[in-house]
Amino acid sequence: MIVTSTCRVLSVVVALTVLSGCAATPQDHGANTTQDDYFSRKLPGLPGEWDPMMSHVDNPILEARRLGDPPPGLVREALLAQHDQWAGTPYRLGGTTRRGIDCSALVQQIFSDTFLVDLPRTTGDQVLAGDQVAREELKPGDLVFFRPPGVYRHVGIYVGDGRFFHASTSRGVMISELDNSYWQRYYWQARRTLEPTTLAQRLLASREG
């Protein structure tokens, strides 16, 4: 009986580790290592949501379809639109829905729903996807990884202007600044799964599908 109980406990621990594979431990978000304030779409430089009734000139999706050559800037717009949908969703280790989600699950769902790209479930596997890129060469759609103290790693999606979209363990889904002292301290690396132009093409394909 003792052996059986021990095995069950170990199975639960292993399952949680495999499912999540992201996030910092709670104590990493204390007063001495504070994450930055929440960023909303109302900040300067963050455009509003797309209106499907816009003209070709005002609507980047319609304009890209008309020209037949999707600009990489569509990736940023799509990520900000996804942020609008997910903003405020609480963090939950192992979660995959708007009731609660962890960082790697958010990244996986955004890439699947927006760009028709299948990414692995955990940060441990996501950090092996694509090619590594230097921080000064980041482009919207790149994955950014962090190594806070503890066993878990954290991942988000770069949206441009030094900001990234992620599921924060303390504040839920939000946009943060890479130059914030907390994230700057634990920055690890960045990966590019696909070039922005390719992501933009897949974005248009997902809208048409």
Whether residue 83 lies in the annotated active site: no
Residues whose CB is less than 8 angstroms from the CB of residue 54 and which lie 6 or more positions away in sequence, other chains included? 62
The two three-digit tokens of residue 185, written as one number: 């301290």
Residues in the chain: 209
Catalytic residue, candidates 7, 29, 83, 103: 103
DSSP string covering the chain: -HHHHHHHHHHHHHHHHHHH-----GGGGSGGGPPPPP--TTSTT------TTS-TTT-HHHHHHHHT---THHHHHHHHHHHHHHTTPPB-TT-EETTEE-HHHHHHHHHHHHH-----SSHHHHTTSSEEE-GGG--TT-EEEE--SSS--EEEEEEETTEEEEEETTTEEEEEETTSHHHHHHEEEEEESS-HHHHHHHHHHHHH-
Residue 167's CB is within 10 A of a number of other CB atoms, namely: 27
Catalytic residue, candidates 7, 56, 83, 154: 154
Residues marked active site are found at: 103, 154, 166
